[in-house]
């Protein structure tokens, strides 16, 4: 976690005394005496509020009067982590455990750091140690599940997520994590049921999903729905593959979401009620978040999963892009990306998908083509590294990412596409065309845990890390 969680009256006191907060530091609230304990509590509150400079100064002041104080040492480490200084962060987290090994939060945070820096086995042991101290800490069970998942230990991951839910059945994050795992394993019926909790986990809903809700009936004649965007652009495109099923059942649809998709979606013929910004009201329409569509339509069998929503490029964009590609070189033309996702500072759980220049060159060995680089905002020198690995020119078409209509036209014209899964993957799928996809471990759920093909993307070939089935 990036900041200490707010301390409730009946929580264990963050000082590590073992007493409840109301019986320990909580008694100091309102006191004018600047005791050490009160100063620690004030530093924690500043940290919770995101006032990191002030919190850091307060922690250091505590250490001046109490060298080696475990609380101040630990949360200075958390501030260092948030700011990207992983070495200092780890040193402080380890020092705090050396000073007081009885506080489970210390072990949990160190384990999170170890996992983020690729030391999965140590992370697992850290979470286990956390749970030895506090077996009822459901967040640590869920974190252990993520560590098992990263180690490709699927059964143990599932058990850990379920242990979290045994402690806290309404813990939405663990339900979302369990859903992803079940979907990765192809257990769709179970997975979609749990996936409904993502709205609460992500802050799209204030309450758990309605336990009395039912999937949609076979006939939707006369019903009008607005499909609401959520998550990223690629996720929206992925879930909109279920829109044709709704219109087949007789529904009329509207869309609320990213304006870059509006004209593209209008051309599909499935959004007769129009497309508008997500802030635009949709009076009289039943609202559905797009991620609920698989559960609502009961997409429970791999053989019956729908293909991507068909997309059609604009003729004028095709003409212009064809000229640009012909100027770059002769067919075959192969588009390439090499990185997807955003790496966050601090303990936030994110996944960056990357294909190294060497991996791409190995996959393309012996193939002659005009290489078209469509990496969005490439890091300085990254295209040149790929050129060196391929031994030839990679033409820079990165700016095409700024206009989805241009990108759709490019992806329709190139003969192949190579790279990690990203929004362009979903555009390419909408064109009914393939991609050679680099899928990391653990995989995103839509690529499943094994195999060269996904039932969601039958035209695409998967390249997984060595040692994966």
DSSP state letters, 20-40? BGGGTGGGGTT-----HHHHH
What 3-state DSSP class applies to 334?
strand
Other Cβ atoms closer than 10 A to 278 = 12
Nearest to 427 by CA among 309, 335, 338: 309
Query: Contact, 130 vs 111, CB < 8 A?
Result: yes
Alpha helices in 185-314 (DSSP H): 188-195, 198-201, 233-239, 243-248, 262-266, 293-296
Token pair for 199: 């709205």
DSSP string over 411-455: HHHSSEEEEE--HHHHHHHHTT---EEE--SSPPGGG-SS-S-BT
Residue 342 clears pLDDT 70, i.e. is over it: no
β-bridge mates for residue 228, sequence order: 256, 289
CATH classification of 21-169 is 1.25.40.20, yes or no? no
Under 8 Å between Cβ of 376 and 337: yes
Q: What is the pLDDT of residues 32-83, one digit of tens each?
A: 445 888 999 999 999 999 999 999 999 999 999 999 999 999 999 999 999 9
> Is residue 28 pLDDT above 60, yes or no?
no
| Residue 178 CB partners (closer than 8 Å, separation 6+) | 145, 158, 161, 162, 165, 194
CA atoms of 197 and 177, how far apart (whole Å): 10
Q: Give the per-residue pLDDT at 36.
A: 87
Domain-wise residue ranges, the chain: 21-169, 224-304, 315-463
Residue 407, pLDDT above cutoff 90: yes
Q: To which H or E segment does residue 183 belong?
A: helix 172-184
Question: pLDDT tens digits, residue range 95-128?
Answer: 999 999 999 999 999 999 999 999 999 999 999 9
For range 285-311, the mean pLDDT: 97
Give bridge partners of residue 20 from the DSSP assignment.
12
Q: Return the pLDDT at 341.
A: 72
- The predicted pLDDT at position 350 comes to 62
Q: pTM for this structure?
A: 0.88
What was the pLDDT predicted at 466? 79
Residue percentage of the chain with pLDDT more than 70: 90
Do 21-169 and 315-463 fold alike per CATH? no
Give the CA angle between residues 391, 394, 396 to the nearest 5°: 160
Q: 274-282 long-range contacts, Cβ below 8 Å, gap at least 24?
A: 278/228, 278/229, 280/256, 282/226, 282/254, 282/256
Q: What number does CATH give the domain 315-463?
A: 3.40.50.2000
């Amino acid at each position: 976690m990036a900041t200490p969680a707010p301390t409730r009256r009946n929580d264990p006191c963050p000082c590590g005394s073992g007493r409840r907060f109301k019986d320990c530091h909580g008694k100091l609230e309102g006191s004018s005496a600047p005791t050490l304990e009160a100063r620690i509590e004030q530093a924690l509150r500043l940290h919770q509020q995101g006032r990191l400079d002030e919190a850091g100064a307060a922690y250091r002041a505590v250490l001046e009067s109490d060298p080696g104080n475990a609380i101040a040492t630990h949360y200075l480490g958390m501030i260092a982590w948030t700011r990207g200084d992983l070495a200092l962060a780890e040193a402080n987290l380890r020092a705090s455990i050396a000073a007081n090994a009885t506080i489970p939060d210390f072990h949990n945070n160190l384990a999170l750091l170890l996992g983020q820096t690729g030391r999965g086995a140590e992370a697992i042991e850290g979470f286990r140690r956390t749970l030895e101290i506090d077996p009822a800490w459901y967040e640590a069970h869920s974190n252990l599940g993520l560590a098992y998942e990263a180690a490709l230990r699927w059964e143990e991951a599932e058990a850990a997520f379920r242990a979290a839910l045994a402690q806290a059945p309404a813990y939405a994050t663990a339900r979302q994590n369990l859903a992803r795992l079940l979907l990765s394993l192809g257990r769709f019926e179970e997975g979609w049921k749990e996936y409904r909790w993502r709205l609460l986990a992500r802050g799209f809903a204030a309450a758990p999903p309605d336990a009395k809700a039912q999937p949609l009936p076979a006939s939707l004649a006369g019903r009008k729905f607005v499909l609401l965007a959520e998550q990223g652009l690629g996720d929206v495109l992925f879930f909109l593959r279920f829109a044709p099923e709704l219109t087949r059942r007789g529904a009329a649809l509207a869309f609320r979401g990213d304006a870059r998709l509006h004209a593209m979606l209008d051309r599909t013929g499935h959004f007769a009620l129009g497309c508008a910004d997500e802030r635009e009201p949709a009076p009289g329409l039943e609202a559905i978040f797009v991620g609920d569509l698989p559960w609502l339509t009961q997409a429970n069998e791999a053989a019956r999963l729908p293909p991507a929503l068909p997309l059609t490029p604009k003729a004028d964009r095709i003409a212009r892009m064809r000229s640009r590609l012909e100027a770059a070189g002769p067919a075959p033309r192969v588009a390439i990306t090499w990185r997807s996702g955003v790496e966050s500072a601090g303990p936030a759980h994110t996944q960056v998908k990357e294909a190294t220049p060497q991996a791409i060159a190995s996959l393309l060995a012996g193939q002659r083509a005009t290489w078209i680089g469509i990496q969005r905002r490439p890091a300085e020198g990254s295209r040149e590294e790929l050129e060196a690995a391929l031994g030839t020119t990679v033409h820079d078409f990165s700016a095409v990412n700024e206009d989805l209509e241009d990108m759709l036209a490019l992806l329709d014209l190139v003969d192949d596409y190579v790279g990690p899964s990203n929004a362009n993957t979903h555009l390419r799928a909408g064109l009914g065309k393939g991609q050679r996809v680099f899928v990391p471990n653990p995989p995103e759920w839509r690529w499943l845990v094994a195999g060269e093909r996904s039932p969601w993307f039958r035209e695409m070939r998967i390249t997984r890390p060595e040692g994966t089935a």
